[in-house]
Amino acid sequence: MNEENSIIWKNFIELLRNNVSQVTINSWFKDLKIYEIQDTNIDNRPMKNVVLITPSSFIKDSLLKRYLDTIADVMEKILGMQCNIIIKTTDEIKEDEIELPKINIDTNANQSQSSQQISTNLEINTYANFDDNLNERYTFENFVIGESNRLAHTAALAVSEQPGKLYNPFFIHGKSGLGKTHLMHAIGNQIKKNLHKRVLYVTSEQFITDFTTINMKKDADYIQKFKDKYRNIDVLMIDDIQFLGGAEKTQQEFFHTFNNLYDMNKQIIISSDRSPDDLKLLEERLRTRFSWGLTVNIYPPELELKKRIIANKMAGHDAARLVDDEVIEYIAANSENDVRHIEGAVTRLFAYTAIMVPSKINLEFANEALKDYLKNSVYLDSNIAKIQKAVADYYKLTIEDLKSKKRSANINYPRQIAIYLCRTYTDESFPKIGLEFGNRDHSTIIHACDKIKEDLKNNEQLKIIIKEIKNNIG
């Protein structure tokens, strides 16, 4: 790979970590490389042809089958343009080269054109209207406080009142779904509203993408744009900094950005799924800097807080007046210690309410609506749940993945198989199955069943897979 492609590839692997596990990366992506990236035009739309090369035809086939969408999505983020992914084996490339000796017409012109076509966040953000990426839905007002998040909340409020003065940097850590992102946006919204300062919220993924862009362009103008975006601000928030681990050059840049802002008393806010000490892949000097300010931990919610969060999420909803108090107890006691999961239970309960139109939401009704969702529910062993578990296990996914909105091929196809199995081997209705798969529309469910039926006609491999999954249904 040339230098440019190596940088792209390194960042690709970095971003890929957000979508797939390290095990998947080691098994399928380790020996993969970028062979070439070319500009192309499909249906009059400029696109990139990205040719990847692997020594193994088995790996090629598996990638095509399971990861094509994911690869295309991640590449698109990096190259800023829709990508057409082509995977070839080393042998195929050799054959190509014999048949068609490569003619390098005007490579330079091609390169400069390609760098012009890459549109990035940088461009959009520095010119025209500055985008702070803040989500107005997340505020202090709708953040429910309990013992487990009190310290984080108090400190966040203080930071929002005196940015750059009290706790700098402000580092929030805690497991996924406990409100880190919510608190960051709340701080940002508050500062914007009361102090009219310039705030920028980015995920570490966005930071990597922006930095990769300047690296590719190597253009003074772009370096300036990057600096404008990240240094000409009063508050910088970087969410999920753990994803910066491994992206060494980006870390170095972040280090400079950090120092620059810090020296000017600008507020820096960072979140992570682990404490600074446990961010092993991050440079020591960055970890040291994180501990200069205040580090707070958000803990999983205790029962009381869970109840208040549930009541809070229900409030304002039309159906809230139908809810019995014991339903709140029931959800609090049986949901995971993860606010995202708790919210999911409420959403689902109301989705079921909209379908069934009950006169009261009592324990029995909640049980029925949430039987496949809550962990200790009396009915956890429903057939849909069993099928979901068997499919998830087979594909090394989680049941949450199957229910999620994620549409990458490695999740979408197993999801379609699971839906097909539910329809074929249980007597549940399309709407009910839709509900169990992340409240999907019933036309989606019908489509999934048709798709698998069609595939089964001439895909022997799929027949074997389905047979194996059926054997594993508990």
φ/ψ of residue 182, rounded to 5: -60, -50
Distance CA 473, CA 136 (A): 44
- Which CB, 310 or 466, lies closer to ligand ADP? 310
Which listed range, 4-12, 175-183, 204-212, 310-318, lies at the site for Mg ion (CB under 5 A)?
175-183
In this structure, how many other beta carbons lie within 10 angstroms of the beta carbon of residue 448? Answer: 24
- Which CB, 213 or 335, lies closer to ligand ADP? 335
Residue 178 binding target from ligand ADP, Mg ion, none, CB below 5 to 8 Å by type: ligand ADP
In this structure, how many other beta carbons lie within 10 angstroms of the beta carbon of residue 275? Answer: 15
Residue 78 binding target from Mg ion, ligand ADP, none, CB below 5 to 8 Å by type: none
Residues that bind ligand ADP (CB under 6 A): 138, 142-144, 149, 174, 176-182, 309, 339-340, 343
Q: Shortest gap between Cβ of 149 and ligand ADP (angstroms)?
A: 5
Of 212, 205, 210, 209, nearest to 231 by C-alpha is: 210
Q: Shortest gap between Cβ of 346 and ligand ADP (angstroms)?
A: 11
Query: Is the peptide bond preceding residue 169 cis, with omega within 30 degrees of 0?
Result: yes
Q: Evaluate whether 331 touches 342 at the Cβ level (below 8 Å).
A: yes
Residue 285 binding target from ligand ADP, Mg ion, none, CB below 5 to 8 Å by type: none
Q: For the purposes of burial, counting CB atoms within 10 Å of the CB of 350, is it exposed (0-12), middle (13-18) or buried (19 or more)?
A: buried
Distance CA 350, CA 360 (A): 12
Which listed range, 66-74, 121-129, 173-181, 204-212, lies at the site for Mg ion (CB under 5 A)?
173-181
Distance of CA 23 to the CA centre of its chain: 18
Residue 193 binding target from Mg ion, ligand ADP, none, CB below 5 to 8 Å by type: none
Q: Evaluate whether 374 touches 334 at the Cβ level (below 8 Å).
A: yes
375-399 residues labelled b (16+ CB within 10 A) or e (exposed): eebeeeeebbbbbbbbbbebbebeb
Q: Shortest gap between Cβ of 332 and Mg ion (angstroms)?
A: 22
Q: Shortest gap between Cβ of 409 and Mg ion (angstroms)?
A: 25
Q: Shortest gap between Cβ of 238 and ligand ADP (angstroms)?
A: 13
Distance CA 51, CA 114 (A): 15
Residue 149 binding target from ligand ADP, Mg ion, none, CB below 5 to 8 Å by type: ligand ADP
- Which CB, 38 or 312, lies closer to ligand ADP? 312
CA 190 vs CA 187, 196, 238, 240, 274: distances in Å:
5, 9, 17, 21, 26
Q: Shortest gap between Cβ of 117 and ligand ADP (angstroms)?
A: 34
Q: Give yes or no for residue 295 binding Mg ion (CB under 5 A).
A: no
Q: Shortest gap between Cβ of 206 and ligand ADP (angstroms)?
A: 15
Provide the mask over 178-207, with x wherever binding to Mg ion is found by CB under 5 A and - wherever it is not: ---x--------------------------
- Which CB, 279 or 309, lies closer to ligand ADP? 309
Interface residues with Mg ion (CB under 5 A) are 181
